[in-house]
Chains A and B, each alone.
Chain A
């Protein structure tokens, strides 16, 4: 079973800009891959399509076999809350919430009660190595720690795939290495992770690379199974 499957997907924005053209790819469970390319190559559009944040202009995007074009907004929202974990370059943490509370928002739209959410948030923070920072506010955390909090938030619902958009883009090289190491470790525990990045060095350290230029795949190092 493919976690994500794109068949001949194109995305055209108003004004005739082809952000992505005729892209087909499959991501299997347990993969760790990079979608890599310079800015303007269509990476962000790929993130939006794979994350069900946007629908393709042509072709089909399937998530665990479900064609997202057929699903309504409410269903897509539920899919995002259950099957997809997002990690963003800017972390998007709430300044007035503690690390645990920030992570717990990952379960806010699951119908789980607050107590249970906080318990699971603590477990997720332990998992990313931040067991000693549970009650810190984001301003008291380093950049690398903030991104770990964001990763914990993405993991808390046990998603089918984690989509990380430039996860090291706002970090220095040491913190970047730490975050990369964390992603590799999580992947070895069975988490499927797609990293969207312009950083070829980072991409080069991941098992699979899908290279983009001008909205098309120029190279795919292939599925390792």
Chain B
């Protein structure tokens, strides 16, 4: 059955109108602020996730900034050459004049050497000579301290004058282990007593010196049977030429067998310690991501419940002329706002944690802007993603279904 209408009589269909962006946002915000308690609780999960991620990255960056400051103070231009093994598997030796050879490399500012000695150091002659306390005895050139960037805590370092006498300078750890706290005391090395003339502060770039007792080069030869071969050569060069020096150092130290010389850069060890810390960063970032995911599920859950509870509101809006798409957008915006507010909370929390932790560790606070922006953006993206399902459920409700619930 069809009734024929004359088309000229028809009132034209009204054109569809968009929901203004400002109205969409205010409707979305109203949905969140209408139930503040629930909004705070469900945004909390997101906040924890974002805070964890920002704090982890911020603490890592602060620790790196502190490391950078340390490296800047210590310098990254110290290189250390020590013998490895020859190709026949024997312990290699370094020629007598290695340090002087190294000084002739153009960009090298200073070079020095130590030579490992067999006798052990003991508090006195009654202590068994097998007890080393982990302290090595080293023959030492008098320019060592300036090259490794060390300083004297008390007394003085070896000089040309004390080089040939039975005098000894203790590294910070060595002094502690021997129980020597002031200069002038006697310690027993090999077959005779040596007088402590100086105690060093800790040397961050050469921690092996902290655990050493340093004897003058000549004294080592005359009293302790030192053969005169250095076992470690230290050099400091122009910072911009470190790589060039690195390449020629082994050949300079031992021109006959450069392959038996190992060259290391002590500042790399500090950087490597930082790299170890960053593996934990990965773990915590993962935990932060899990927290964010759980927070996202919490927001999705809240939104699903919200859609169920607000069927009448949806029905009314449909009756007032909202299309499916407009209802969907409303709930999508609501979910995004909810999650984004959580992200902002997490941002504040993360900055507070980082600042507090850095203050406790006496680090400079470093918060990369990218992470802060990324954190908030991540929360917004999560909100939009988890909002898709509840929003599409809201949009699928027919007006009749929505209004039927009483």
Chain A residues in the interface with B (C-beta under 8 A): 1, 7-8, 48, 51, 53-54, 60, 62, 64-66, 71, 73-75, 77-84, 86, 88, 90, 92, 94, 96, 105-106, 108-111, 113-114, 153
Choice from A8, A62, A79, A109 contacting B13 with Cβ under 8 Å: A79
The list of the 8 closest CB pairs from A to B, nearest first, reads A81-B321, A111-B17, A109-B321, A77-B323, A53-B399, A82-B14, A92-B316, A86-B319
Determine whether B22 belongs to the interface, using a CB cutoff of 8 Å to chain A.
Answer: yes
Report B-chain residues with C-beta under 8 Å of the C-beta of A65: 5, 9-11
Name 7 extra pairs, CB < 8 A, besides A53-B318, A74-B324, A108-B27: A1-B11, A53-B398, A73-B324, A75-B16, A82-B14, A114-B22, A153-B320
Instruction: Given A86-B319, A108-B320, A111-B18, check contact A78 B5 (CB 8 Å).
Output: no
Question: Is A96's CB under 8 angstroms from B399's CB?
Answer: no
Among A71, A92, A94, find the residue whose CB has the most chain B CB atoms closer than 10 A.
A92
Question: Is A78's CB under 8 angstroms from B324's CB?
Answer: no
A150 CB, min distance to chain B CBs, angstroms: 10
A106 CB, min distance to chain B CBs, angstroms: 6
Determine whether B37 belongs to the interface, using a CB cutoff of 8 Å to chain A.
Answer: no
Report A-chain residues with C-beta under 8 Å of the C-beta of B20: 111, 113
Chain B residues in the interface with A (C-beta under 8 A): 1, 3, 5, 9-11, 13-20, 22-23, 27, 30, 34, 312-313, 315-326, 398-400, 403, 406
- Given the complex of chains A and B, what is the CA–CA distance between A223 and B301 in angstroms? 52
Report B-chain residues with C-beta under 8 Å of the C-beta of A8: 1
Q: Which residue of B lies closest to A63 (CB)?
A: B11
Q: Which residue of B lies closest to A110 (CB)?
A: B17
Question: Is B312's CB under 8 angstroms from A7's CB?
Answer: no
- Given the complex of chains A and B, what is the CA–CA distance between A88 and B13 in angstroms? 25
Question: Is A1's CB under 8 angstroms from B321's CB?
Answer: no
Question: Is B321's CB under 8 angstroms from A48's CB?
Answer: no
Report A-chain residues with C-beta under 8 Å of the C-beta of B318: 53, 77, 80
Report B-chain residues with C-beta under 8 Å of the C-beta of A94: 313
Q: Which residue of A lies closest to B27 (CB)?
A: A108
Question: Is B9's CB under 8 angstroms from A92's CB?
Answer: no
Q: Which residue of B lies closest to A7 (CB)?
A: B3
Instruction: Given A65-B5, A105-B320, A108-B19, check contact A90 B406 (CB 8 Å).
Output: yes
10 contacts between A and B (CB under 8 A): A53-B318, A60-B3, A65-B9, A74-B16, A78-B13, A78-B14, A79-B14, A108-B317, A108-B321, A109-B323
- Given the complex of chains A and B, what is the CA–CA distance between A74 and B17 in angstroms? 10
Report B-chain residues with C-beta under 8 Å of the C-beta of A86: 316, 319-320
Instruction: Given A96-B34, A113-B20, check contact A77 B13 (CB 8 Å).
Output: no
- Given the complex of chains A and B, what is the CA–CA distance between A8 and B2 in angstroms? 11
- Given the complex of chains A and B, what is the CA–CA distance between A77 and B19 in angstroms? 12
Question: Is B400's CB under 8 angstroms from A54's CB?
Answer: yes
Report A-chain residues with C-beta under 8 Å of the C-beta of B1: 7-8
Choice from A60, A77, A92 contacting B321 with Cβ under 8 Å: A77
Report A-chain residues with C-beta under 8 Å of the C-beta of B398: 53-54
- Given the complex of chains A and B, what is the CA–CA distance between A174 and B3 in angstroms? 45
Report A-chain residues with C-beta under 8 Å of the C-beta of B326: 77, 109
Choice from B5, B321, B324 contacting A110 with Cβ under 8 Å: B321
Report A-chain residues with C-beta under 8 Å of the C-beta of B5: 62, 65
Question: Is B23's CB under 8 angstroms from A108's CB?
Answer: yes
- Given the complex of chains A and B, what is the CA–CA distance between A104 and B154 in angstroms? 84
Choice from B13, B321, B400, B403 contacting A80 with Cβ under 8 Å: B321
Question: Is B16's CB under 8 angstroms from A78's CB?
Answer: yes
A132 CB, min distance to chain B CBs, angstroms: 25
Report A-chain residues with C-beta under 8 Å of the C-beta of B323: 73-74, 77-78, 109
Choice from B22, B27, B320 contacting A81 with Cβ under 8 Å: B320
Report B-chain residues with C-beta under 8 Å of the C-beta of A90: 312, 406
Instruction: Given A74-B323, A108-B23, A113-B20, check contact A48 B400 (CB 8 Å).
Output: yes
A64 CB, min distance to chain B CBs, angstroms: 5
Q: Which residue of B lies closest to A91 (CB)?
A: B316
Report A-chain residues with C-beta under 8 Å of the C-beta of B403: 53, 88
Report B-chain residues with C-beta under 8 Å of the C-beta of A88: 316, 403
Report B-chain residues with C-beta under 8 Å of the C-beta of A79: 13-14, 321
- Given the complex of chains A and B, what is the CA–CA distance between A146 and B34 in angstroms? 20
Choice from B3, B22, B324, B400 contacting A53 with Cβ under 8 Å: B400
A203 CB, min distance to chain B CBs, angstroms: 22
Q: Which residue of A lies closest to B14 (CB)?
A: A82
Among B16, B34, B315, B322, find the residue whose CB has the most chain A CB atoms closer than 10 A.
B16
- Given the complex of chains A and B, what is the CA–CA distance between A71 and B312 in angstroms? 24
Report A-chain residues with C-beta under 8 Å of the C-beta of B321: 77-82, 108-110
A123 CB, min distance to chain B CBs, angstroms: 18
Q: Which residue of B lies closest to A150 (CB)?
A: B316
Q: Which residue of B lies closest to A113 (CB)?
A: B20
A169 CB, min distance to chain B CBs, angstroms: 11
Q: Which residue of B lies closest to A87 (CB)?
A: B319
Report B-chain residues with C-beta under 8 Å of the C-beta of A80: 318-321
Choice from B9, B16, B23, B399 contacting A54 with Cβ under 8 Å: B399
Question: Is B10's CB under 8 angstroms from A64's CB?
Answer: yes
